[in-house]
Chains A and B, each alone.
Chain A
Amino acid sequence: MILDLLIKDFKEEGSESTLSKRVIKMIVDTIIYGLFIALETYIFISLDRKFETFSSNSSYGFLVLLLLLILVLSIFGSLPLARKALYKTKDKLLLASRPVLKDEIIISKYLYVYLNTVKNIFIFSVPLFIGFGATRGMMVPYYVFSLFYPFLIGFFGTGITFILLVPYQKGHEFLKSHYILQIIASGILVTGICLLYNYVLDLFLNLVMNTQLDQMFNQGFISFIDSLSRNAHPISSLLNIFILSDNILSSLCIFAGITIVSIVLAFVILNLTYSLYLDNETKKSIKYHKQYKVDKPLMALIKKEFILIFRNTNFLFSYIALIIMQPIFATTVISSLNSLLYVNLGMFLTYFPELINGLNLTLILLFISVIASQTMELIKNEGTGFINMKTMPISYSKQCIIKIAIPSTVSVFSLLVTLICLISLNQITLTVFFIGLIIGMIFTISLNISGLYGNINILKKANMDTKSSSSSLISLLLPFSLAIIHFVMTFIRIPSWSIYLIEISLCLILFLYLIIPFKKRIIKGFLDIGGSLI
Chain B
Amino acid sequence: MEDNKIIKIENLKKSYGTKEVLKGVFLEVNQGEVFGLLGKNGAGKSTLIDCMIGLKKFNEGSISIFDMDIKTSGINIKEKFGYVASEPLTYEMMSGKEYLLFVASCYSMSQEAFDANYDFLKKQFQIDEEDLTRRIREYSHGMKQKVCLMASLIHNPSLWILDEPTVGLDIMIYDVLVNMMKSYVKNGNTIFVTSHNIDLVSDICDRVAIINDGNIQTLIDFNKEPFKRKNLKSIFFRIYKENQ
Contact = CB atoms under 8 A, between A and B. Distances in A.
Given A392-B78, A531-B55, A287 B133 contact: yes
Contact of A307 (B50, B89, B93, B107): B93
Contacts of A385: 89-92
Contacts of B76: 393
Q: Count chain A CB atoms within 10 A of each CB in B91, B104, B133 and give the residue with the most.
A: B91
A384 B105 contact: no
A252 B75 CA distance: 77
Contact of B87 (A294, A295, A312, A384): A384
A288 B107 contact: no
Contacts of A304: 91, 94, 102
A294 B111 contact: yes
A383 to B, nearest CB: 6
Contacts of B108: 296-297
B54 interface: yes
Interface in A288-318: 288-289, 292-297, 299-301, 303-304, 307-308, 311-312
Given A288-B95, A304-B91, A385-B91, A294 B105 contact: yes
Interface string A522-533: 000001101110
B106 interface: yes
Interface in A34-93: none
B53 interface: yes
Interface string B102-119: 111111111100100000
Given A288-B98, A296-B105, A388 B91 contact: yes
A236 B195 CA distance: 71
Interface string B37-73: 0000000001000100111110000000000000000
A296 B105 CA distance: 6
A299 B105 contact: yes
Given A304-B102, A530-B56, A391 B78 contact: yes
A274 interface: no
A283 interface: yes
Given A285-B134, A294-B111, A384-B88, A300 B56 contact: no
Nearest to A289: B133
B160 interface: no
Nearest to B144: A384
B135 A391 contact: no
A303 B55 CA distance: 24
Q: Count chain B CB atoms within 10 A of each CB in A296, A311, A387, A528 and give the residue with the most.
A: A387
Contacts of A293: 101, 111
B83 interface: yes
Given A285-B138, A293-B111, A530-B56, A393 B89 contact: no
Nearest to A392: B106
Contacts of B83: 387, 391
A440 to B, nearest CB: 28
Contacts of B95: 287-288
A509 interface: no
A393 B80 CA distance: 9
B93 A287 contact: no
Contact of A383 (B46, B91, B133, B134): B91
B191 to A, nearest CB: 16
Size category of the binding interface on chain A: 35 or more
B90 A394 contact: no
B92 A531 contact: no
B105 A297 contact: yes
A388 B147 CA distance: 13
Given A300-B106, A395-B75, A294 B101 contact: yes
Contacts of A534: 87, 89
Q: Count chain A CB atoms within 10 A of each CB in B79, B94, B102, B107 and give the residue with the most.
A: B102
Given A292-B101, A393-B76, A532 B89 contact: yes
Interface in A192-237: none
Given A288-B95, A294-B101, A393 B79 contact: yes
A286 to B, nearest CB: 5
B111 A390 contact: no
A386 interface: yes
A528 B54 CA distance: 11
A527 B53 CA distance: 11
B91 A288 contact: no
B118 to A, nearest CB: 9
Given A294-B101, A393-B75, A308 B93 contact: yes
A390 to B, nearest CB: 5
B229 interface: no
Contacts of A392: 78, 103, 106-107
B97 interface: yes
Contacts of B220: none
Contact of A393 (B78, B85, B130): B78
Interface of A: 283, 285-289, 292-297, 299-301, 303-304, 307-308, 311-312, 382-388, 390-395, 527-528, 530-532, 534
Interface of B: 46, 50, 53-57, 75-76, 78-79, 83, 85, 87-95, 97-98, 101-111, 114, 130, 133-135, 138
Given A285-B135, A384-B92, A532-B87, 11 more contacts: A288-B95, A383-B91, A387-B83, A387-B85, A390-B54, A392-B107, A393-B75, A393-B76, A527-B57, A530-B56, A531-B56
The 10 closest A-B pairs by CB, nearest first: A300-B105, A385-B91, A531-B55, A393-B78, A387-B89, A311-B93, A393-B79, A392-B106, A527-B57, A295-B105
20 contacts: A288-B133, A294-B114, A301-B106, A304-B91, A307-B93, A307-B98, A308-B91, A383-B92, A384-B88, A385-B90, A385-B92, A387-B89, A388-B91, A388-B102, A388-B106, A391-B55, A393-B107, A395-B75, A530-B50, A532-B87
